[in-house]
Structure 1
């Protein structure tokens, strides 16, 4: 972190001014440190994934990631990758974090899903004011927040903040969180889990069951103003968190990070599915025709070569995109709207590509693939669930990308959905 920037921050009147001044600094040492931290993080993840994999069926059975798996991810530093340096965080480059989540997904897709989601929320906290950050990370760099961004609850402005009532759904990983971020249109509200009720019977699904994405109910919960993220601050490049975290990682697009994170779980899950398919194909014999090994089937060869190439291709593209965006930030610059919308589309496209890849090999996976104890059917169900996540909407992402390319006017900023185009 630049000492010069710290001194100048005391002379600035706004986060935007400080951001502009910091962009002129030399961030090459910061970049090198972030990549080093990222590389060490990936190695730490690799050390714990064998045990995480041994617990994957507990996530499926219990409808939540096991406590032991959560502890292993804490041990590997998963939940401090986007935590600021001054709070004991890694502040690693995003591509390394994404790669680590992919590796976790090869062991347990549910664990990877909450690893990604909870860290997105840490990135958002880093954009908020110092009091919120101190309350969040002051005693624990591994503090986690789950979320439910859909603005389906009720909020009322009161003196000093807001009062929240109602039920918010699909809060992935809430069993492993100390805080929750709740959506309210153009505002997000940070609430301690002790202030709300978790409906443990609400998550009754067949895909990504282990994520424990449960419903939350609030009754007259007061949220002070300092725990409110006004999304207009991000839209206007006026993030209060920049007064404290005025460094390249936090200049990246918050919504870009959010919309690209689920993709890491999808890529890792599909990669594991193909590995598992290959292991079974090596020992299977066809029951029709000659009884020869199915591995001799040229139709299988083409299907497998095609799907492996596609999944590896979107993996490399995804990581390369985020390395490029981070490198740009370390030069004090940011991606153009067209570049960001391209990355947004390619992220959504990767979700579709990975689901289609497993769908393509399913007809030749054999009847055993439908057994409950066969990992391939769980992979298929998890990918189906992930395909329905908002960030996986390839059609909407394509529209934003091509409209930007054609110079068409975007929708004006109004909420978290429209913010995705701008920041």
Structure 2
């Protein structure tokens, strides 16, 4: 049996199990067992045991549950209300007015949560009722929330970048820093789109509120100080080299607890709920990572990644042709799987191919996250769409239509990153 036929067979086995509702981690491990049993020589049980042991005490992976816990704590605090209070006075007279609160609020919360779904839930719980009551159009409210919430995957500390870094043995600190400029670029694209829509059709946007004195705006912005300090403490400690990502994650949990206690509404019940939520999410991700590691090692024993990379290189695809094909592949795959599953399922096979055409693995990590962001607002399994549907009660297709322009803005951002790779590499190279 040729290598492409083996790859198709293993992929079919994996997809059948996933379609049958089997856990992603179990589907990965079963596929790995089939590969190593029938197409390689090592003892499967021994390989599985050493993989579980070797990948369950990674120091870099310790940052994952800590950042998840930080996001869970902030999710249950008054952060979102404070952000609206602090941002609204400055944005009330901008083109698009308070719709920019969705964009900037999601960007700020993304910088302290690392999760797209948590960002959509937290900001949406605050902004959707408030903006609806003020007369803003439903499609722009939902669209800005759905698109901007995807920034939780890119702006550090990003959970999915930690997963990619562990899976590919890339520096998590450098990946975090690499995500800063692309994240700010996407914020700019989203804000520009809202401004253009407001200029083209002024009747869409409610009238501007009365002007506030500068001192009054500063007074309202005091509520932003704690979260800005948290962002500076976490990201600044990584960028300056004072702390590793794991150390910064521990610092972030301590600062988040102080912030939650300072803002009020966070007691022992919320703390227990945050611990349980972080535990469930961390265990799920760790289980998937172990399954993916076992699949990756099994693929290595079969020689499939190396041989497939050589097979694809025989087609003579240029770097841009390969990236175009991979973009379509990842978006389609993301229509049926969550972002973390997409990353762990594909990196072991895809990475040798992209390295063979001279693509930097660090740059590819940011590219992959932006494509996964696109899939978060693509039906039928765009996670952000389901979160917003749960918040609003709207039909999923209605939510998807509202999010469609932001899918194309993410695609534009992806093209800019491909054409100008310095957007990704400039800050890491300066470290």
Q: What TM-score do you get using the length of structure 2 for normalisation?
A: 0.29
Tell which has more relative contact order, 1 or 2 (C-alpha 8 A, sep 6+). 2
User: Quick check: which one's strand share is greater?
Assistant: 1
Q: What TM-score do you get using the length of structure 1 for normalisation?
A: 0.30
